[in-house]
Chains A and B, each alone.
Chain A
Amino acid sequence: MTDREPMSGTTDCGGDAAAYVLGALEPEEADAFRVHLQDCAVCRDEVEALGGVVQALPLAAHQYAPPRGLKRRVIGEVRREQATTGRSVARTRPRRRGPRQLLAGGAATLVAAAGAVTAIIELSGGAAATVFQAQVVGISGSAQLRVTSGHAELVVRHLTPPGRGHEYEVWLQHGKAAPVPASVLFGVNSAGDADVGLPKPVGHRLSAVMVTQEPLGGSPHPTHDPVIVARLHGIS
């Protein structure tokens, strides 16, 4: 605290600090408290002191060894991602940009975000499916694009649901042209899963499939950065 800072911004100053560090304030209250913190040294001190206690609370849980299969699953997924991207995922993530910039540079964004991907040929029911691992950016979950006899299906698992009043929209990119709507909107079930078929057969010029979060009903142009990018190659 400095000498010039006020001791208190409100008469019940400090009353929210404990609930704040516990994450127990309602979202609007937390936003207001964050603003209050900028001017109130007393609350900042209290948040710092009580925040240390909250950081210690995980220790109060009885300690178990992780189940044997868990490490295999986690490290397996990490190694798969490392193998498909060939380097740190964090370095291939595009920076956040405004919608206007996204529209202007949509094609470049796709190429930069996708990085290197691997196509895997699978045999399913007698038909060969080409599976493209997609990159999921800024949200949790996994996604892959499966192409069978020219028909594509986007398969997402454990995906973060779209925000309130929003849904996911699929975009297609041909060559290096700007992405165009695939006329497909989707949400996910409680597990974050969805199997989304694309309505038209994919052509050889299709270079990428991406997904953005858009207001309900969709948008004529992407208004957010893509959260899923599947870069295609070798489609015939």
Chain B
Amino acid sequence: MFAQRRNLKELADEDLMVLVRDGDPRAFEVLFDRHGGPAFSLAYRMCGSRARAEDIVQEALVSLWRAGGRYDQSRGSVRAWILSTVHNRAIDSFRREAARPTRPLDEGALTERLAAPELTDVEAERRIDADRVRGVLRELPDDQRQVIELSYYGGFTHLQIAEMLSLPAGTVKGRMRLGLGKMRIALGEAGVLP
């Protein structure tokens, strides 16, 4: 049993997905161990509530278990698939309940931050990438960062953002384009993106 679990942990995500498609919950558990943290972190960043973030992640991951046979490797990594599903599920919940976080997150509210000693080499590398992405986003001009954060983390459309900020819709789109363009260059230079 333990040997089997160890072997599963040695498999790549894509190989685990083959087992998930065949209905192996142990393979899914390994995927949770790898990606549950980023999935929860994204949901928490978007909704600002630990309980709600847990619900979103649970809904998203169970739906992925059911849809395991539909994973298409050619359309991106398993990690991207999981995170985009969590993202979409959070947006759905915003639109269903017309509720979004109304104040900045209290990042100290969660006590279970990922402790550095728990990190594997792969996870440590991902943390470095995460720091780089956070840094690149932080260095954008405020007006460009704001529209990107409102749309991606808040789930607002460009028209909603334009109304919120009293800006022409074209200006909002322009800022999104400028901001993402700068991030593309910076993340490429930092080695996060090819």
On A, residues with C-beta under 8 Å from B are 14-19, 21-26, 49-50, 52-71, 73-75, 77-79, 81-82, 85, 87-91, 93, 140, 158, 160-161, 190, 192
Distance in angstroms between the alpha carbons of A18 and B193 in the assembled complex:
17
Q: 25 A-B contacts, Cβ less than 8 Å apart? A: A14-B177, A16-B173, A19-B172, A19-B176, A23-B152, A52-B194, A55-B84, A61-B42, A61-B45, A63-B113, A64-B41, A65-B113, A66-B40, A70-B40, A73-B58, A74-B58, A74-B62, A75-B28, A77-B58, A82-B25, A87-B22, A88-B21, A88-B69, A89-B66, A161-B96
Distance in angstroms between the alpha carbons of A18 and B148 in the assembled complex:
9
In the complex, number of A-B residue pairs with CB atoms less than 8 Å apart: 202
Interface residues of B in 73-92 (CB under 8 A from A): 76, 80, 83-84, 86-87, 89, 91-92
Distance in angstroms between the alpha carbons of A125 and B118 in the assembled complex:
48
Closest 10 CB pairs of A and B: A90-B69, A61-B45, A88-B23, A24-B151, A18-B177, A18-B176, A59-B130, A66-B36, A59-B133, A66-B40
- A190, B173: Cβ atoms under 8 Å? no
Complex contacts, B155 vs chain A, CB 8 Å: 23
Given A24-B156, A58-B83, A65-B112, A78:B63 Cβ within 8 A: no
Distance in angstroms between the alpha carbons of A55 and B55 in the assembled complex:
22
Q: Report the minimal beta-carbon distance from A113 to chain B, rounded to whole angstroms.
A: 13
Interface residues of B in 34-79 (CB under 8 A from A): 36-42, 44-45, 50, 54-55, 57-59, 61-63, 65-70, 76
Select one of B38, B55, B58, B137 contacting A63, CB under 8 A. B38
- B58, A70: Cβ atoms under 8 Å? yes
Distance in angstroms between the alpha carbons of A19 and B170 in the assembled complex:
10
- A90, B66: Cβ atoms under 8 Å? yes
Given A16-B173, A77-B58, A89-B65, A63:B76 Cβ within 8 A: no
- B54, A58: Cβ atoms under 8 Å? no
- Contact of B13 with A by CB under 8 A: no
Residue of B nearest to A79 (CB): B25
- B91, A23: Cβ atoms under 8 Å? yes
Complex contacts, B61 vs chain A, CB 8 Å: 74, 78
Residue of B nearest to A137 (CB): B66
- B59, A24: Cβ atoms under 8 Å? no
Q: Report the minimal beta-carbon distance from B162 to chain A, rounded to whole angstroms.
A: 10
Distance in angstroms between the alpha carbons of A91 and B65 in the assembled complex:
12
- B57, A74: Cβ atoms under 8 Å? yes
Distance in angstroms between the alpha carbons of A73 and B29 in the assembled complex:
11
Given A24-B161, A88-B68, A52:B170 Cβ within 8 A: no
